[in-house]
Amino acid sequence: MQNQSDFPTPYYLIDETKLARNMALIDQVQRESGAKCLLALKCFATWPVFELMSQTMAGTTSSSLYEVKLGRDKFPGETHAYSVAWSEQEMAEVLANSDKIIFNSLSQLARFEQQSRGHNRGLRVNPKVSSSSFSLADPARPFSRLGESDPDKIAAVIHQISGFMFHNNCENGDFPLFSQMLAHIEQTYGELLHQVEWVSLGGGIHFTGEGYPIADFCARLKQFADTYGVQVYLEPGEAAITNTASLEVSVLDVVENDKTLAIVDSSIEAHMLDLLIYRLDAKLPATGSVPVMVCGKSCLAGDIFGEFQFAEKPNVGDRLSIQDVAGYTMVKKNWFNGVSMPAIVVQRLNGKRERVQAFNYQDYLAGFGNQ
Ligand SMILES: *Cc1c(COP(=O)(O)O)cnc(C)c1O
């Protein structure tokens, strides 16, 4: 590990002081509501800061075998294993490395019922309401594959499980909306909730945001836990790491084409993929009145961070600090959800197939740190 105050750009800069602020809010929520907070690794998997986070958070939740193993290896506390679909060959390792396993469907529960017997098991329930404004990220979208919905079908397997996972909030900073959707869950699944020991309400609740009514939120969670006699879990991803990291870049060139364009040593496709997928602008503090379009150095024509008001025209060599890049950003250089990278196989001219590259869990780990 290098230890100097300035590194060559580009680099992501994670600020532990800012992380500690979020952890203090999570600590407050855990104490006042009784809920346990698990970090959703699909949002943020940079394990060299897990020591700090694990002093507050109760463990991790996952979306793949690699995330289960990362949680077990690098984050003390509980390890929840969830995936949209487990495969036969990974089940033994998932069970060996997790405290709870959450199945996404009744068919997966049935398929692994024998093998997972004796393990603490849960089922994902899809309440068919969500706070998402992007269809791409909406778990309640039509034809959603994310969880079971029919209370009668769930009742038929209730003796096989001891918990439920609901994840239907998405970037939701609106407490009344959260509470209203929880009431819908209570109305639809109330009888079933009385029969389980734990309920995870998933992620997507932005309770660490400025001005969020934490006391009301805690009271609502506590009321829910008391009504059904359950341990509540939350699975914050974004809320845990919001506003804790920046992407440090340098200006490589400044050109004019009806607008002033600053080309930096980064690329949204390579380093901030969510901007491209969700058509969002990067966050750069506006400091003046000179409009500058900040562009990436890839040859993708639309590789643009956004247009920002600079104090003055930028110069080659200037440093820019793009804000709030921890969530869904560092994990998207590769390995999103911990989904294993495909190997690369070449079929040679003689018809023989040769595997020229294969990836494993160690490669996944190394993508986020090596100290
Ligand atoms: C994505 C996800 C989370 C984390 O969501 P955030 O919006 O980052 O808080 C938690 N649980 C599940 C099941 C998820 O799919």
Q: Which CATH superfamily groups domain 16-240?
A: Alanine racemase (3.20.20.10)
Residue 99 is assigned to a ligand binding site: no
What pLDDT score was predicted for residue 268?
A: 94
- Please provide the DSSP assignment of 103-147 as one string: ESSHHHHHHTTTTTTTSEEEEEE--S----S-GGG-TTSTT--SS
Inter-residue contact 244 to 13 (CB < 8 Å) = no
In the chain, where are the structural domains located? 16-240, 245-325+333-367
Inter-residue contact 220 to 179 (CB < 8 Å) = yes
What pLDDT score was predicted for residue 368?
A: 87
Q: Is 43 in the pocket of ligand 1 (CB under 6 A)?
A: yes
Buried b (16+ CB within 10 A) or exposed e, 333-365: eebebbbbeeeeeeeeeeeeeeeeeebeeeebb
| CATH number of this structure's domain 245-325+333-367 | 2.40.37.10
The Cα–Cα gap between 238 and 257 comes to: 37
The Cα–Cα gap between 55 and 132 comes to: 31
* Residue to substitute in 167, 233, 324 for testing ligand 1 pocket (most ligand atoms within 8 angstroms of CB): 167
Indicate which atom in ligand 1 lies nearest the CA of residue 169: 7
Q: Is 238 in the pocket of ligand 1 (CB under 6 A)?
A: yes
Q: For residue range 181-226, what is the model confidence (pLDDT) as tens digits?
A: 999 999 999 999 999 999 999 999 999 999 999 999 999 999 999 9
Q: For residue range 122-151, what is the model confidence (pLDDT) as tens digits?
A: 999 999 999 887 888 899 999 999 999 999
What's the Cα-to-Cα distance from 183 to each of 209, 220, 361, rounded to whole Å?
23, 10, 40
Q: Give the three-state DSSP class for 346.
A: strand
pTM, whole model, 2 decimals? Answer: 0.93
User: How do beta strands 163-166 and 78-82 pair?
Assistant: unpaired
Residue 274 is assigned to a ligand binding site: yes
